[in-house]
Amino acid sequence: MLQQILQDMYIDPDLLAELSEEQKQILFCKMREEQVRRYNEYEEKVDTEKRKPPRPRKPGRRVERIQFLEGKDGNEWVWVMGEHKNDKPIEQIIEEEAQLKAAKLAEVEAEELRNQEETEIAKKAAQEQARLEREKQAQEEELRRQEEEARLYQTLKEAKMAEQKLQEERRKREEEEKRKLKEIEQTQVLRRRKTRESVKQLKERRSSDIYMSFKKARQNFEKTAQETMTKVEVEWKEREKKAKEFDEEKRAIARRAREEHRKSLSMKHSGKVIGAVTAMMRRHTVVGAPPPMTSSNNNSPGSKPRPPRPDDRDAVIDWFKDVEKQKNVGKDPKTRNVEPWFHGVITRVEAESLLENKRVGTYLVRVSEKVWGYTISFKDEDRCKHFLIDTSDDSYQFFGTNQIAHKSLLDLVGYHQKKPISGVGQEVLLFPCGQMRDPPDYYELFQNDKVEVTAL
């Protein structure tokens, strides 16, 4: 199973969830070693390719390249805003942009006010001219009426004098009208001048007000941003602190896992040496002894090879009945009753539910749905731990390399009832967790057998 994972450089998330932290760290070490091996192999291949002579280029083929502008130092030319002596500071640029924007807004407001004033002045002038026209028409009508009366009732001399008088009055009225029109024009000119001055003052005042409002808004924004940044920085430091603590804990676990990995490698090497010496001594003492026979369910003649992982729950049950049941796995060798710690094909959640209210050190062994093997679920102080047991090599050992291989599941459980599963967690199997339901969860595994239900 490990070789398949290293070949694919992938592990199923469900299978990964079944691994303990130490097993995950060991798997990480092995995958990292495989990555380094593949990288070195690729580097050697690239070096070999580089040493080969380049292939000749086809004639007439144009090679397109991109060439970057380079500076005096030979590197790509880069312009960094603010570093040149003629560059304005960013604060000055922002200040000038704010002033320019404020001046434009003030100019727009002043132009609108000036247009309103011009419209009002033109309206008043038109009303005044209309009033003068009406007065002029009324006076003309009055003069014509008086002339007609004079012609009817007065003598020639009196009519002539009356006409002269009327002509004089008409001339005076025309002069008065001209004077009033001139006054109206002068008044309009004065109003326009005052309007321009007031608009100019308003523009300057509004420009200053708008700029100050922009400045205040920018200060408020910077203040809010600073407060937010401070808050975010505090939260980030808190998260960083927790992350560092978590990373330190993971590094410590990984360090201990690597140490155990190295120790197991050295123990394996020592075991090989001792085994070689023992075999040599046996060859000298027992001449012609037949070689030991090896039995493997996977390699037996006529047996159908199993897939790397079970397809479903039924496949696991069939595997247990065909292979494990023949070895009396999960049963007491003396009484033939099912061991109190043995459970059927139950999920991780169901196992944690059984161990929820149990004391530290309580454990159970369940048939795994993820691999051809088992899982030990162990109640620790802060959580439940799960350790995969691999049976792919016709032995019982925890997932990983250089693990102690046991002949039976009972031997593995018995060994770890005295020795801890890992050096990091010091998990010793103390209290078996029995069945909590009837029929027991292993009923479908021993459906045709007469077994005694054990429960705690």
With cut-offs at 50, 70 and 90, classify the pLDDT of residue 181.
Answer: confident
Query: Which structural domain range is residue 323 located in?
Result: 12-41+312-456
Q: Using the predicted structure, report yes or no on whether residue 364 has a pLDDT greater than 90.
A: yes
In 3D space, the residue among 409, 434, 430 whose CA is nearest the CA of residue 418 turns out to be 430
| Together in a domain, 97 and 28 | no
The answer to the question of residue 48 being in a domain is no
| Together in a domain, 113 and 181 | yes
Mean pLDDT over 60-85 rounds to 80
User: Among residues 190, 214, 243, which one ends one of the domains?
Assistant: 243
The predicted-structure confidence for 21-45, as pLDDT tens digits, reads as follows 777 877 888 888 889 999 999 998 8
For the entire predicted model, the pTM comes to: 0.43
With cut-offs at 50, 70 and 90, classify the pLDDT of residue 299.
Answer: very low
Number of domains in the chain: 2
Cβ neighbours around 254 below 10 Å, total: 20
The predicted-structure confidence for 207-228, as pLDDT tens digits, reads as follows 778 778 878 887 888 888 888 8
Q: Can you give the pLDDT at residue 158?
A: 67
**What's phi and psi for 70, nearest 5 deg?**
-110, 150
The answer to the question of residue 207 being in a domain is yes
| Together in a domain, 209 and 324 | no
| Together in a domain, 95 and 18 | no
Mean pLDDT over 116-143 rounds to 80
User: Among residues 185, 219, 243, which one ends one of the domains?
Assistant: 243
Pick the residue with more confidence: 172 or 60?
172
In 3D space, the residue among 409, 407, 413 whose CA is nearest the CA of residue 430 turns out to be 413
Pick the residue with more confidence: 205 or 235?
235
| Together in a domain, 35 and 102 | no
The answer to the question of residue 155 being in a domain is yes
| Together in a domain, 169 and 101 | yes
The answer to the question of residue 356 being in a domain is yes
The answer to the question of residue 357 being in a domain is yes
User: Among residues 190, 209, 243, which one ends one of the domains?
Assistant: 243
Mean pLDDT over 270-286 rounds to 44
55-59, 204-208, 260-264, 369-373, range with the lowest pLDDT? 260-264
The enclosing domain of 429 has a CATH number of 3.30.505.10
The answer to the question of residue 32 being in a domain is yes
The rounded percent of the chain whose pLDDT value lies above 90 is 8
136-150, 186-200, 256-270, 439-453, range with the lowest pLDDT? 256-270
| Together in a domain, 222 and 136 | yes
Q: Can you give the pLDDT at residue 342?
A: 93
The answer to the question of residue 154 being in a domain is yes
| Together in a domain, 322 and 441 | yes
Residue that the structure tokens 């694919």 belong to: 8
The answer to the question of residue 135 being in a domain is yes
| Together in a domain, 344 and 219 | no
| Together in a domain, 189 and 316 | no
| Together in a domain, 125 and 231 | yes
Cβ neighbours around 229 below 10 Å, total: 12
Query: Both tokens of residue 404?
Result: 């102690």
Q: Can you give the pLDDT at residue 455?
A: 46
